[in-house]
């Protein structure tokens, strides 16, 4: 008895796709593994048509498709993702493709073949970087200024504020260097 082949579904036509890319640290259980090489970073990618609200504090991804790089080959992973998108979606109707991630090189290289692809830092990595800046400039109201500017979609204000902080840091280091020169 022959099983009939499944007919391909019609291509979907959303205007926006969201790709969530991250990695997980997985404990490896290989025989004869090297000492100290117990964990492996495994790239993970999820393609979605966005999110929908389930309840007040919970969202769900719309039509998620998950990809795991078992070969630890980022290029091959992105080729699989691109192949899936080409088969499942009418890419001519896509207005934007957003790649959410932490800015790692393998994520930045993803989906370069698609038009209108924009890489966006995800919420976790955004908070991590914001915490670093806040610690470095603890006497400034960094979190409030940056968060307010981002909420108001004022990229210029964020850029100007960060430039001002860096310039102040540079001047302080210059003064400290001059003081040390007089001691030596």
pLDDT at 1: 36
**48-67 tens-digit pLDDT:** 999 999 999 999 999 999 99
Domain ranges in the chain? 16-28+35-121, 126-183
3-state secondary structure 15-26: CEEEEEEEEEEE
pTM: predicted TM-score of the whole model, two decimal places: 0.72
pLDDT at 18: 93
Other C-beta atoms closer than 10 Å to the C-beta of 150 total 14
DSSP string, the chain: -PPPPPPPPPPB--SEEEEEEEEEEEE---TTPPTT--EEEEEEEEEES-EEEEETTEEEESS-EEEE-TT--HHHHHHHHHHHHHHHB-TTS--EEEEEE---HHHHTTTTTSTTEEEEE-HHHHHHHHHHHHHHTTTS-HHHHHHHHHHTT-HHHHHHHHHHHHHHHHHHHHHHHHHHHHH-
pLDDT at 10: 82
Domain 16-28+35-121 class?
Answer: alpha beta
């Amino acid at each position: 008895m022959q099983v009939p082949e499944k007919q391909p579904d019609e291509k979907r036509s959303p205007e926006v796709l969201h790709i969530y890319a991250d990695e997980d640290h997985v404990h490896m259980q290989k025989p004869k593994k090297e000492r100290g090489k117990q964990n492996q970073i495994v790239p993970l990618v999820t393609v979605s048509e966005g999110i929908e609200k389930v309840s007040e504090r919970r969202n769900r991804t719309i039509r998620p498709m998950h990809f795991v790089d078992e070969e630890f080959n980022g290029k091959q992973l992105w080729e699989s993702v691109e192949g899936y998108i080409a088969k499942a979606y009418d890419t001519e109707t896509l207005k934007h493709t957003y790649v959410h991630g932490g800015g790692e090189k393998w994520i930045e290289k993803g989906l370069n073949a698609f038009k209108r692809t924009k890489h966006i830092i995800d919420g976790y990595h955004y908070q991590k970087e914001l915490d670093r800046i806040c610690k470095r400039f603890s006497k400034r109201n960094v979190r409030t200024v940056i968060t307010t500017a981002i909420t108001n979609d004022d990229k210029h204000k964020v850029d100007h504020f960060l430039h001002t902080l860096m310039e102040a840091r540079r001047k302080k280091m210059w003064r400290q260097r001059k003081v040390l020169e007089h001691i030596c």
